[in-house]
């Protein structure tokens, strides 16, 4: 190769490290020549999609030659009704990852800074860096977002702040008082993105429902997803709720058909299946208790989590324990890329999956 394409890439992209996803089950099954791999690595719903979503997908299959409804009318109407916000405040994405990128592309340039927390979801720095913006990663406090320090980090170059509530991979969260105090300190021209990917799992009276705060805070953007509690990670569908002007701007950078038609019909059906979500939450509560009890029994420390995953500190390198668990046919998530080399993130699975994980962990340690 005579041309050094790396040297031609934009400076932001040159410095970028790609997102490291959870290892796919099929990959480990190929590598080990086994079949019954357990994956607790991507915080997916262990019960799978809602049966109603599957029916909607089946019914829509003959329409696949057609482009999807680029405006997602039916799903937006359903969300509008559910959330009690006008449809013009909604932006649909190919996963909420997509809408996070819209926000970055609308507001961030190489002259800007984006504030996020240490140990926060990796997509915020990756998206911001890819457009050349400077990422200001504020040291975490007890593994969670330090909102005081994040407010202090805002300056005249700041265009965006990302807050994951709860955060992945730590499971930490910010309460309504802390967030309200933070928003008071943020200048109106700085967008605050609150990522509520795990909100359905949260059972805390002081957890803020940020959609209700939108009328009072024009600079607030709330993102949510069908990938976690709704069990549709493979279909890639999420959304943002914002003020109508911000939604209009995001709509300008969106691909015309960014959300696929199966995702649209499945999400609308899943939204109506509250029983399925409730079953998932019950499995999560029981599994969370089981995992916490067993980590304690094994003498392992963990970060208290309000999501569908638990991050625990290993007695030796997390990467080593991760590799040893793979050989037991169990996939979890190593957190070296998050600056937590001794920790592993474990998604809560079904009872059988959780038992497999605990037994494997016991053998490995």
Ligand X SMILES: *Cc1c(COP(=O)(O)O)cnc(C)c1O
Q: Which residues bind ligand X (CB under 6 A)?
A: 43, 95-97, 121, 164, 168, 195, 197, 225, 227-228, 233, 238
User: In this structure, is the dihedral angle defined by the CA atoms of residues 165, 169, 170 and 171, taken in order, positive or negative?
Assistant: positive
Task: Tell me whether residue 101 or residue 146 sits nearer to ligand X (CB atom).
Answer: 101
Eight-class DSSP state of 325: H
Long-range CB pairs of 320-329 (<8 Å, 24+ gap) are 321/361, 321/364, 321/365, 324/364, 325/357, 325/360, 325/361, 325/364, 326/23, 326/28, 326/32, 327/32, 328/360, 328/363, 328/364, 329/28, 329/32, 329/34, 329/36, 329/37, 329/38, 329/356, 329/360
Task: Tell me whether residue 39 or residue 228 sits nearer to ligand X (CB atom).
Answer: 228
Task: Tell me whether residue 168 or residue 284 sits nearer to ligand X (CB atom).
Answer: 168
Minimum distance of ligand X from residue 225's CB (angstroms): 3
Minimum distance of ligand X from residue 62's CB (angstroms): 27
Minimum distance of ligand X from residue 88's CB (angstroms): 22
Task: Tell me whether residue 25 or residue 324 sits nearer to ligand X (CB atom).
Answer: 25
Residue 91 has phi, psi (to 5 degrees) of -130, 125
DSSP per position, 59-117:
HHGGGTTSPP-TT-HHHHHHHHHHHTS-GGGEEEESSHHHHHHHHHHHH--TT-EEEEE
| CA–CA separation, 126 and 107 (whole Å) | 15
Minimum distance of ligand X from residue 223's CB (angstroms): 7
Minimum distance of ligand X from residue 44's CB (angstroms): 9
Task: Tell me whether residue 153 or residue 164 sits nearer to ligand X (CB atom).
Answer: 164
Task: Tell me whether residue 199 or residue 360 sits nearer to ligand X (CB atom).
Answer: 199
Residue 144 has phi, psi (to 5 degrees) of -105, 175
Q: How many CB atoms lie within 10 A of CB 69?
A: 16
DSSP per position, 345-364:
EEE---HHHHHHHHHHHHHH
Minimum distance of ligand X from residue 237's CB (angstroms): 7
| CA–CA separation, 287 and 289 (whole Å) | 5
Query: Of all residues in this chain, which one has the CB nearest to ligand X in the complex?
Result: 95
Task: Tell me whether residue 303 or residue 364 sits nearer to ligand X (CB atom).
Answer: 303
Contact 179, 165 (CB under 8 A): yes
Task: Tell me whether residue 146 or residue 195 sits nearer to ligand X (CB atom).
Answer: 195
Minimum distance of ligand X from residue 38's CB (angstroms): 19
Minimum distance of ligand X from residue 95's CB (angstroms): 2
């Amino acid at each position: 190769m005579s041309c050094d394409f790396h040297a031609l890439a934009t400076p932001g992209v040159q410095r970028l490290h790609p997102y490291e996803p959870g290892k796919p089950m099929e990959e480990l099954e190929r590598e080990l020549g086994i079949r019954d791999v357990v994956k607790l690595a991507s915080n997916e719903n262990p019960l799978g999609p809602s049966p109603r979503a599957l029916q909607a997908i089946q019914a829509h299959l003959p329409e696949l030659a057609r482009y999807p409804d680029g405006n997602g009318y039916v799903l937006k109407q359903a969300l509008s009704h559910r959330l009690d916000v006008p449809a013009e405040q909604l932006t649909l994405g190919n996963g909420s990852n997509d809408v996070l990128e819209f926000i970055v592309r609308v507001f961030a340039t190489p002259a800007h800074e984006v504030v996020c927390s240490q140990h926060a979801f990796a997509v915020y720095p990756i998206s911001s860096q890819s457009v050349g913006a400077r990422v200001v990663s504020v040291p975490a406090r007890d593994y969670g977002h330090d909102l005081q320090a994040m407010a202090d980090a805002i300056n005249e170059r700041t265009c965006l702040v990302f807050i994951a509530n709860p955060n992945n991979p730590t499971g930490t969260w910010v309460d309504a008082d802390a967030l309200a105090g933070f928003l008071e300190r943020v200048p109106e021209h700085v967008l605050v993105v609150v990522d509520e990917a795990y909100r359905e799992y949260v059972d805390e009276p002081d957890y803020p429902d940020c959609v209700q705060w939108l009328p009072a805070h024009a600079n607030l953007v709330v993102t949510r997803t069908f990938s976690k509690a709704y069990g549709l990670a493979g279909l890639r569908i999420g959304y943002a709720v914002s003020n109508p002007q911000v939604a209009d701007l995001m709509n300008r950078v969106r691909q015309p058909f960014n959300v696929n038609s199966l995702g649209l019909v499945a999400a609308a059906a899943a939204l109506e299946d509250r029983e399925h979500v409730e079953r998932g939450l019950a499995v999560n509560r029981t599994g969370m208790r089981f995992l916490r009890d067993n980590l304690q029994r094994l003498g392992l420390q963990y970060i208290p989590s309000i999501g569908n995953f638990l991050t625990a500190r290993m007695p030796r390198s997390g990467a080593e324990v991760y590799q040893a668990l793979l050989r037991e046919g169990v996939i979890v998530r190593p957190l070296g890329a998050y600056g937590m080399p001794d920790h592993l993130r474990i998604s809560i699975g079904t009872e059988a999956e959780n038992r497999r994980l605990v037994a494997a962990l016991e053998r490995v340690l």
